[in-house]
Amino acid sequence: MDGGITGAALRRGVDIDALMALVEAFEPPRNGHAAATPEEVAAAERVSRAWTSAEAGPLQPGSEAHRRAICAMFHETFNPYRPAVIDWPRLAPEELQRLTSLPIWDIAVQTEGQARLRFAAYAASLGDREMQATIMLNAWEEDRHKQVLSRLVETYGIALDKEPAYDVPRDAEWGYLLTGFSECIDSFFAFGLFDLARRSGFFPAELVETFEPVIQEECRHILFFANWLAWHRARLSPWRRLRFELRVAGVWIHIAVLRVGLARTIDRKPRNDNFTVHGAQAVSPVPMGFRELLGVCLSENDRRFAGYDARLVRPTTVPWLARQVLRLGGWRR
C-alpha cells in the first residue's frame, strides 16, 4: 500500500505545525509529488470514475474485506494532477466578473484549510496502518484542493479576507465526523452547481474542465467517508454504538447551527439572501428555484457514483432529504 507513514510519526502531531508537517511529508500513490504526464492524468481520471474491488463476494460493512476494499478504492483511484502546472485559461471581462462575484471563495479556501488538519488529526489517532494511510491521503488531497483554489484566486485577482487561525481539534473523531458530514452536504450541491456551470456556457469550457478532477475527487472523498462510517458502526458493541449515534446526532445539530450562522453572515453582505439559489443564478442564465436545483443535484449525484462498485455504501442522508423536499412539493423560491 502506498503512503509511507508510521504510527509513531502520526502520533507526534498535536499542534498545527506538526499536523501540517505530516500532510506535507506524506507520499501519495504513484509518486504524486512528481509531475505527471497528460496521458497519466487522463488515465487516472478514467479510473477515478469507474472502479470495482477485486474482493470476491459481498462487502459486508465491518468486515475485513470491506475495510480492504474501501482503502484500495481510495488509493487506486488517486489522480496525480498537480496544482502548480495547471494552465489557467484567459477569461473575457464578463467571464472574469462572473467568477470573481461568486460568493464562495473565502469559504472554500478556509474549508479546505480546516479539513486537511481535521483529517490528519484523526489519522494520527488510529492504530490501523492501512486506514491511517488512507485518511492521511484524504488530508493530503484536501491540502491539494486548497493549493488549487489559492492559485485560482491569485491568477484571477480575486480578493479574499484574511484566513482565520485554524484550530487543532481536541476530539479527533468529532472533527473527522464534522468535516465528513459537511463535505457530504457541500459536495451534493457542488455536483449540481458544477453541472449547471458546464451546461450554461457562462464560463469557458477550459475552466470548467480544469475543476473536473477536483469535483470528482470530492465524490471519492464522501464515498470513502460513507463506507468508513458503515464499517466503523458495524464494529461497535451495542453500548458503544448508542454512544456513537448520539455523537453523530450532536454533529448534525452542530452543522445545522453553523449553517444558520453562515447564512446570516452572507445575508449581511450585498448578496442574495439564499446562498444556494444565488449560486445557481451565478452559474446559469436560466432562472432556477431551489426545487429545480435539487433535481439537478440528485441527477448529478447518481451519475458521479454510478461507476463505483455497487457493493460499496453510498452517502444517503442528503439525497434522502432532497427527495423528501421534492415529494412534498411545497417549496417556494
- Model pLDDT, residue 279: 56
Question: CB within 8 A of 317, min separation 6: which ones?
Answer: 181, 184
CATH of the domain at 220: 1.10.620
Query: d(Cα 54, Cα 309) in Å, to the nearest integer?
Result: 10
Is residue 72 a part of any domain in this protein?
yes
Asked whether residue 253 is assigned to any structural domain, the reply reads: yes
- Residue 333 domain-assigned? no
Determine the Cα–Cα distance for residues 325 and 323; give it in Å rounded to an integer: 5
Q: CB-hemisphere CA count at 13 Å for 35? A: 5
Residue 1 within a domain? no
Cα 222 from Cα 188, distance rounded (Å): 10
Helix, strand or coil, per DSSP, at residue 308: strand
60 pLDDT higher than 80: yes
Confirm whether 153 is domain-assigned: yes
pLDDT of 268 > 70? The answer is no
pLDDT at 277: 46
Helix or strand or coil: residue 19? helix
pLDDT tens sequence across 120-147 = 999 999 999 999 999 999 999 999 999 9
Mean pLDDT on 176-190: 95
Confidence class for position 287, pLDDT limits 50, 70, 90: low
Domain boundaries, position 281: 7-328
In angstroms, the CA 229 to CA 177 distance is: 9
pLDDT at 33: 57
For the chain, the domain total comes to 1
Tell me what pLDDT residue 57 has: 94
Which residue type does 97 have? Q
**Is residue 227 in a domain?**
yes
- Per-residue pLDDT, 280: 59
Residue 153's CB is within 10 A of a number of other CB atoms, namely 17
